[in-house]
Amino acid sequence: MEAECPICGSPVELPDDVMAGELLECPSCGATLEVYEQDGTFLLREAEEIGEDWGE
């Protein structure tokens, strides 16, 4: 299973047990990508910045 990198257009391999929200790195351009699900298909979008700080 693979999906297209929204940044550079290269194909990115998805794990067999891919999870919505999973973070992957595009092997071609190095962008951090987030997996999301739409109509039963897993797609990729650029991941927004989320801090490591867990607050309380």
Partner 1 sequence: MMVVKVGGRTLGNIPLIARDLVGHQPFVLVHGGGDLVTEYSKRMGVEPRIVTSPSGIRSRYTDERELEVFVMVLAGKVNKEIVSSLIDLGVGAIGISGVDGPTLIAERKRRIIVVERGRRRIIPGGYTGRIEEVRTDHLRLLLDSGYNVVMAPLARGTQGEMLNVDGDQAASRLSSALKPDYLIMLSDVEGVILDGELVSRLTPEEAEELAVRLGAGMNRKLMMAADVARSGVRVVISSGLVDEPITEALNGAGTHVIPS
**For binding to partner 1 (CB under 8 A), which residues are involved?**
15, 17, 19, 21-23, 34, 47-48, 50, 52, 54-56
Nearest alpha-carbon partner for 4 in 36, 47, 45, 49: 45
Nearest alpha-carbon partner for 37 in 56, 14, 53: 14
Q: Which is nearer to partner 1, 7 or 47 (CB)?
A: 47
Binding partner selected for residue 26 from partner 1, Zn ion, none, CB under the kind-specific 5 to 8 Å limit: Zn ion
Q: Could you tell me which stretch among 1-9, 13-21, 34-42, 43-51 binds Zn ion (CB under 5 A)? A: 1-9
Nearest alpha-carbon partner for 32 in 44, 20, 41: 44
